Amino acid sequence: MNRRTLLSRVVFSVCAALLGAAFALPLIWFVFAPFNAHADLDLAFPAPPTLVNFARVFANGVAVGALLNSLLQAFGTVLLVAATATLAAYALARTPLRGKHVIEYVLLLFSSVVSGSAAMVPIFLIVNALGLIDTQLAVILVFAGGLLPTAMFILRDFIASIPRGYEESALVAGASPWRAFVDVVVPVLRPGVTIAAVWAFVQVWGGFLIPFVLLRSEQRMPASVEIYSFYSQAGTPIVPLLAAYSALYSLPVIALYWYVNRKYGFRFFGGIKS
């Protein structure tokens, strides 16, 4: 290795390290603060590290209630999306439905054109007309509608990769289409449903705008809105509590991404976030 390549290696490594540091910097404080009983907005190593902030979160009724609301809204949406998307994706992949390609094209188009930030007015008005303002059901239904097209496309690709012979033998043996679907397709489809469900869960769990617009009363707010109203309020937020609460709230998202990444690789997340 001559001097020039050595020099360029060093320059390259320094650049890579600086870039990594620039990305890490905004989060370093957030790594330490949850474990610091006297955390403030300055960067300080907790001495000693403690879990007392987390204990304070669990003793706080509002904080725990908001986490439970997030769970309810996320699980409600996931169940609804998983069930309806699997059925619809099966129909898209396996029936001679007329105009199937048109349906798919229109779905793709609408799902990218109708964004939450553009459509917040009509969505609010529809929910209002249904009498569902300030209900968790409204949050679940609106999220489900928005997430369904993408979930359907993920699942359709999975179904397309299942050999048709599987269901055909069940149908030949006299099973109804519904039985063939439930007993043959659904079990084989588990990885696809897992990925679609994890993706939907993460979207709802982190979602802010929809519950922010559709909900009114504090006892129905999910953790996302609760955290925002804590730190955006005038006056000093209760930093140690909020840091631990945010860490707790981030945990499922990090764990799920880590799990899916390890099990299926990240290619599935490539085009489907947000």
Handedness of CA 57, 59, 63, 65 (dihedral sign): positive
**Closest alpha carbon to 225 in 65, 114, 116:** 65
Q: State the Cα–Cα distance between residues 53 and 262, nearest whole angstrom.
A: 31
Binding segment for another protein among 47-55, 56-64, 189-197, 202-210 (CB under 8 A)? 202-210
Site string (65-94) toward another protein, x via CB under 8 A: ---------------x--xxx-xx-xxx-x
Q: State the Cα–Cα distance between residues 199 and 57, nearest whole angstrom.
A: 27
Which residue number, 22 or 47, has a Cβ lying nearer to another protein?
22
Q: State the Cα–Cα distance between residues 168 and 151, nearest whole angstrom.
A: 25
Task: Report how many residues bind another protein under the rule CB under 8 A.
Answer: 99
The single residue among 37, 71, 126, 175 that binds another protein, judged by CB under 8 A, is 126
The single residue among 6, 7, 14, 43 that binds another protein, judged by CB under 8 A, is 43
**Closest alpha carbon to 218 in 77, 76, 63, 75:** 63
The DSSP result for 183-202, as a single string, is IIIHHHTHHHHHHHHHHHHH
Interface positions, 223-242, toward another protein (CB under 8 A): 224-225, 227-228, 231-232, 239, 242
The single residue among 7, 14, 24, 55 that binds another protein, judged by CB under 8 A, is 24
Which residue number, 8 or 219, has a Cβ lying nearer to another protein?
8
Interface positions, 164-193, toward another protein (CB under 8 A): 164, 167-168, 171, 177-178, 180-181
Which residue number, 71 or 87, has a Cβ lying nearer to another protein?
87
The single residue among 3, 42, 187, 235 that binds another protein, judged by CB under 8 A, is 42
Q: State the Cα–Cα distance between residues 73 and 136, nearest whole angstrom.
A: 7
- 118 lies in the site for another protein, by CB under 8 A: yes
Residue keyed to tokens 């403690």: 50
